[in-house]
Structure 1
Amino acid sequence: MLKAGFDEYYTKNVELYSKKKVKKSVNLNLLNRLNGYKDQVLAFMYDFDIPFDNNLAERDLRMAKVKQKVSGTFRSYTGANAFTRIRRYVSTVRKRGKNTLDCIESVFTANPIDPTLA
């Protein structure tokens, strides 16, 4: 697949790269980087414990932005605060590898599960 990208890129820009000192384009730099780090870039395909992306902060914010987009906005500061507290709890539970439903149910019992404890 990368070979096809290199072939297509170089055939389109053969005249440009025939000169001695030409700055590499963003596209060529990306192709070179993907080629050099192929095993690391595609590791998620072979080891299913590795997430497709590693941006936990983005994933944590995504649900709040979707909620905001669907309903327009939060009706009150209290509602927004409650939403973020619940999402923060669920996110922590998932990151700690605990059962989400069990932890949420435990909140309504006498002994709630604290996901921050090991």
Structure 2
Amino acid sequence: MQPENEFVQNLHEVFALFGPVRARRMFGGYGIYHDGLMFALVADNMLYLKTDNLSRAAFEAQGLTPFEYVKNGKPIKMSYYLAPDEIFEDAEVAREWASLAYAAALRGRKS
């Protein structure tokens, strides 16, 4: 397993109140897991959190945008939205947003 970069290593501290997280390299970025379930991803040292139809409005209300990549010349939007900057400054805020993302991941697993 390749070593985590500094941004990813810091997520262990950011999410300390939420609980233990594990990072796994994938597609040039990292998947961020809690209890074996991916609830976030890191691409270009930007953190994105899992969303679904129940949680997406909270992200959009903050002006946060979805993770997007280009495939065959077309932009593809994923169900991960940029995390608010406040989570890097306030552990309680980080726990709230991580919980929201984890709940979306749990709901997605059941469908």
Shared topology, TM-score over 0.5? no
Q: Which has the larger radius of gyration?
A: 1
* Greater helix share, structure number: 1
Normalising by structure 2, report the TM-score: 0.23
